[in-house]
Structure 1
Amino acid sequence: MLDIFNKWYRRYLFEEESVLLLVLLTLSVVLLMTIGDILAPVLASLVLAYLMQGVAGQLQRHGLPQWLGVSVAFLLFVGAFFFFIFGLLPMAWRQLLALAGEMPRMLDQGRQLLGVLPARYPEFVNPEQLNQVMGVAQKELAEFGQALVTRSLASIPGILTVLVYIILIPILVFFFLKDRQVLLAWCATFLPQERPLLRRIWGEMNVQVANYARGKVLEILIVGATSYIAFTWMGLNYAALLGLLVGLSVIIPYIGAALVTLPVVMVALFQWGFASEFYYLVLVYFIIQGLDGNVLVPLLFSEAVNLHPVAIIIAVLFFGGIWGLWGVFFAIPLATLIKAIINAWPTPADEPATILEATE
C-alpha cells in the first residue's frame, strides 16, 4: 500500500506548484463548508465585483478612464441591486403570500375539475383514490401556507442582519472594483514567483467563467423581464412572481425550465380554465422558452462549455447540495474548473513533450 501511495505521489505531486494547488483547493473547500455562511457577504461581493469588472473593462476599452469606468459600473450595480432588493423582491413576496392564500380555492376548483374522472374512467380512477389524493394535496398546501407564515414571523429577528448585508455588499463591491489590482498583487505575494500551472488554469478559466457568469446574468434579466412583460400584458395573475421564477429557472440547465412550467401552467389553468386565454398564454410561454434555448443562449455564450449533459446535471446536483443557489449558479464553471485542473495537472508524461517543444 505504501508503494502504491509513493508511486501516486511521485506521479501527480512531484512539483511544488502541484502541492500548492492541492493545498489551495483543499483550504478553499474547507473554508466554504465551515464558515461559508459567515463569509457569504464577501463571497457575494467578489462574484458581483467580478461581473461588474467586465462592464468597467468594456467602458475602458471604449476610451473612458479607469476611474470613470469603475464609477459608472458601480452606479449601474447600485441601481440594479437596490431595485432588486426594494422593488422586485417585495412585490414577488407579496404575490407569493397572495398565491398561498388562494391555494384553498384552487384546490376546490381542482377537485371539481377532477371530479368528472371517476364517471368517465371508472376502470382507472375511483372516488376513494381521488379523495385520498386531494386530502394529501390539501394537507401539503396547508403545511406550505403555515411554513410561509412561520418563515415571515421568524425572519423578523434577521432583518438587522439583512440590513447589514445591504450596506456591506455595495461597499465591498466598490472597493473590490476600485482596488482590484492592489488586492490581486497582495494575493500574488503568497504564491511562488514561477507559477505556470496556475497561470494556465487561470487563463483558461477566466475566459469561460467570465463568459458564462455574465452571459447567465444577462439571460436571467432578459428571460425574466420578457416573461413578466408578457404575463402582465396577457393579464396573468402573479406576473412578477412567475416572471422571477422563469428568469431564475435558466440557472439550472435542463431542469429549471421543466420545473417552472408547472406553476405557470397551473396558475393560468385555474385563472382561465381551458379558455382561449390559457392556450395563448401557454403558446407565448413556450415561444419564450424556445427563443431562449435556440437564439439567446448561442448569442450570449460565445465560448462554449465543452461538458457532457450528464456531467452538467451531476455538477448542478452536487454543488447545489453543498452551496445552495450559489452552487447551482456556478455549477458549470466549477465543473469546468475541475476539468481544466485535470487537463493541466502536470505528470511525468508531460516532460518529453516539454523537451520536444523546447528543442523545436
Structure 2
Amino acid sequence: MVAVLKKWLDHIFADEEALILLMLIFGSLLLVVTMGNVLAPVIASIIFAFVMQGIIAQLISRNVPNWCAITVAYTIFIGVFIVVMFLLLPLAWRQLANLFQELPVMIGKGQQLLLVLPERYPEFISHEQIKDWVGLAKAELGNVGQWLLSFSFSNLANVMGLLIYIVLVPILVFFFLRDKQSLLAWLGTFLPADRPMLNKVWLEMNAQVANYMRGKAIEILIVGGVSYISFSILGLNYAALMALLVGGSVLIPYIGAAVVTVPVAMVGFFQWGSGSEFITLIIVYAVIQALDGNVLVPLLFSEAVNLHPIAIILAVLIFGGLWGLWGVFFAIPLATLIKAVLNAWPGKHQVAAEGLTSE
C-alpha cells in the first residue's frame, strides 16, 4: 500500500510547475483566511480593476490610446462607485429600517390570514400550530432586531475605517489599471521562465472568469436597475431594497431568483392584498426573470463558464458556507480554477475535469 501511494504521489508531483501551482493556491487561500479582513480593500480593488479591463480592451481594439481607455474606464468606475455608495446603499438601508418597523404589522396581518386555515382544513392545521408559528416568527424578529442594534453600535467605531476604505479603493483601482503590465511582469519574476502549465491555467481562467465577472457586474446593474424602475412605477414599497435583492440574486445561479421571490411577493401582498396590483407585480417580476434567463444571460455570457449545474450548485454551497457572501461571489470562479488546474495538470487527469463540464 505504501509503495502504491508513493508511486501515485511521485506521478502526481513529478512536475515542478505542479508543485509551484499547489504552493500558489494554498498560499493564496492561507493569506485570504488569515488576513482577509485586512486585505479586503486590496482584494475588492483587484476585482474592480479586473472587471474594468473589459472596457479598456474594447476601447483599445477600436484604436483608442491606452491612457484614454484607462481614463474612460476609471471614470465609469468612479461614477458607479459614487452612485452605489452614496445613493443606493443609504436608500436601501433606510428602507430596510422602515421595513423592520413595519414587520410586526405584517406579522399581525399574516396571523389573521393563517387563522382561516384551521377552519378550512382542521384535519391538517390547528389553531395551536398557527400560534406556535406566529410566536416563532416574533421571536426571530426580536433576534433580528437585537442583531441590527448590536451591528449598528459595534460598527460606530468602524466609521472612520469605512471612510478610509471609500478613499483607498478608488486609489488602488487607479494604480491597478495604470500599472497592470508592470505589476504582472514583477509577479512573473517569481515564477519559472518556462511555465506552459501555469500559462495554460492563466489563459483559461482569464478567458472564462473575466467573461463571468464582467458579465455578472453588467447583469446585476441591468436587472437591479430594471427592477427598481419597474417597482417604482408600480408604487411598490421598499422599491430600492427589493431591487437590490433582485439584482444581487443573480450571483446565486438557479437558487437566488427563487429565494428573492418570497420577500418581493410578501411586500406586494401585504401592501395590496391579492388584487390586480399584486398580480401585476408578480407578472412583471416573472417577465424580468424570464428576460434575464433567456435573453440577457446568453448575450452577456457568450463564453460562459462550462460547468455542469451540479458543479455550480455544489460550489455555491461549499464556498458560500466557508466564506459567506464572498464565497458565493467567488464560487464559480473558484470552481473554474479547479477545472482549469485539472485540465492543465500533467498526466491523465483530464478525464476527471471533463466530468465537471456540461455536455
Q: TM-score, normalised by structure 2?
A: 0.95
Cα shift at 1:59: 1.4
Kindly provide the CA deviation profile for residues 77-107 of structure 1, in whole angstroms up to 9, marking residues without a partner as x.
Answer: 1111111111100000000000000001111
The answer on whether the counterparts of 2:209 and 2:305 sit within 8 Å (CA) in structure 1 is no
Does residue 321 of structure 2 align to residue 296 of structure 1? no
Which aligned pairs between 1:80-159 and structure 2 lie closer than 5 A?
80-159=80-159
The answer on whether the counterparts of 1:268 and 1:281 sit within 8 Å (CA) in structure 2 is yes
Counterpart of 1:341? 341
Does residue 328 of structure 2 align to residue 328 of structure 1? yes
Counterpart of 2:353? none
Counterpart of 1:24? 24
Cα shift at 1:150: 2.3
The answer on whether the counterparts of 2:269 and 2:278 sit within 8 Å (CA) in structure 1 is yes
Over the matched positions of the two proteins, sequence identity in percent amounts to 57
Cα shift at 1:324: 2.4
Counterpart of 2:306? 306
Which aligned pairs between 1:1-360 and structure 2 lie closer than 5 A?
1-347=1-347
Cα shift at 1:183: 0.4
Q: How far apart, CA to CA, are the structure 2 residues paired with 1:89 and 1:204?
A: 35
The answer on whether the counterparts of 1:33 and 1:322 sit within 8 Å (CA) in structure 2 is no
Q: How far apart, CA to CA, are the structure 2 residues paired with 1:83 and 1:175?
A: 22
Q: How far apart, CA to CA, are the structure 2 residues paired with 1:4 and 1:163?
A: 57
Q: How far apart, CA to CA, are the structure 2 residues paired with 1:349 and 1:328?
A: 27
Cα shift at 1:348: 7.5
User: How many residues are aligned here?
Assistant: 350
- Going from structure 1 to structure 2, the CA distance change for 1:194 and 1:139 (only over 3 Å counts) comes to same
Q: How far apart, CA to CA, are the structure 1 residues paired with 2:301 and 2:117?
A: 47
Counterpart of 1:356? none
- Going from structure 1 to structure 2, the CA distance change for 1:347 and 1:88 (only over 3 Å counts) comes to same
Cα shift at 1:110: 0.8
Cα shift at 1:177: 0.4
Q: Which runs of 5+ in 2 are unaligned?
A: 351-359
The answer on whether the counterparts of 1:97 and 1:148 sit within 8 Å (CA) in structure 2 is no
Aligned Cα root-mean-square deviation (Å)? 1.4
Counterpart of 2:354? none
Q: How far apart, CA to CA, are the structure 2 residues paired with 1:282 and 1:82?
A: 31
Cα shift at 1:322: 2.4
Q: How far apart, CA to CA, are the structure 2 residues paired with 1:120 and 1:15?
A: 70
Q: How far apart, CA to CA, are the structure 1 residues paired with 2:227 and 2:97?
A: 20
Q: How far apart, CA to CA, are the structure 2 residues paired with 1:311 and 1:160?
A: 41
Q: How far apart, CA to CA, are the structure 1 residues paired with 2:172 and 2:283?
A: 43
Cα shift at 1:8: 1.8
- Going from structure 1 to structure 2, the CA distance change for 1:326 and 1:348 (only over 3 Å counts) comes to closer
The answer on whether the counterparts of 2:45 and 2:172 sit within 8 Å (CA) in structure 1 is yes
Q: How far apart, CA to CA, are the structure 2 residues paired with 1:266 and 1:76?
A: 35
Kindly provide the CA deviation profile for residues 260-312 of structure 1, in whole angstroms up to 9, marking residues without a partner as x.
Answer: 00000000000001111001100110111111111111111001322121111
Structure 2 counterpart SS, 1:132: helix
What amino acid is aligned across from residue 149 of structure 1 in structure 2? Answer: L
Q: Which runs of 5+ in 1 are unaligned?
A: 351-360
Cα shift at 1:181: 0.6
Cα shift at 1:18: 1.3
The answer on whether the counterparts of 1:11 and 1:348 sit within 8 Å (CA) in structure 2 is no
Cα shift at 1:145: 2.2
Q: TM-score, normalised by structure 1?
A: 0.94
What amino acid is aligned across from residue 166 of structure 1 in structure 2? Answer: I
Structure 2 counterpart SS, 1:157: helix
Q: How far apart, CA to CA, are the structure 2 residues paired with 1:54 and 1:202?
A: 16
